[in-house]
Amino acid sequence: MKHEISKKGTPGLEKVEVLGATFEEGKPEGEDAGKWRYKLRSRDEKLKYLESGERYWYGKEWFGSEKRKNPA
């Protein structure tokens, strides 16, 4: 893939090279795109998938602003 590089002026400096978009455009293809429920077999696999995606709410190994390190 060839990257686009453009030159832009900045205050106090001469022209600077700026890297353009570095991704390839595209969309998911096929019938199974976005159907994660059918790819996971058991209820436990589905729960594990959701908990890992929502680890902010289900995680127990971190101490965020909403949780205390030592319970009151």
Report the pLDDT value the prediction gives residue 43, as an integer from 0 to 100. Answer: 92
Closest CA to 2 of 29, 27, 30, 21: 21
Closest CA to 65 of 47, 21, 56: 56
All residue ranges of the chain with pLDDT < 70 are 1, 58-72
Which amino acid is present at 24?
A: E
For 31, half-sphere exposure in the C-beta direction (CA atoms, 13 angstrom radius) is 1
- The structure's pTM equals 0.38
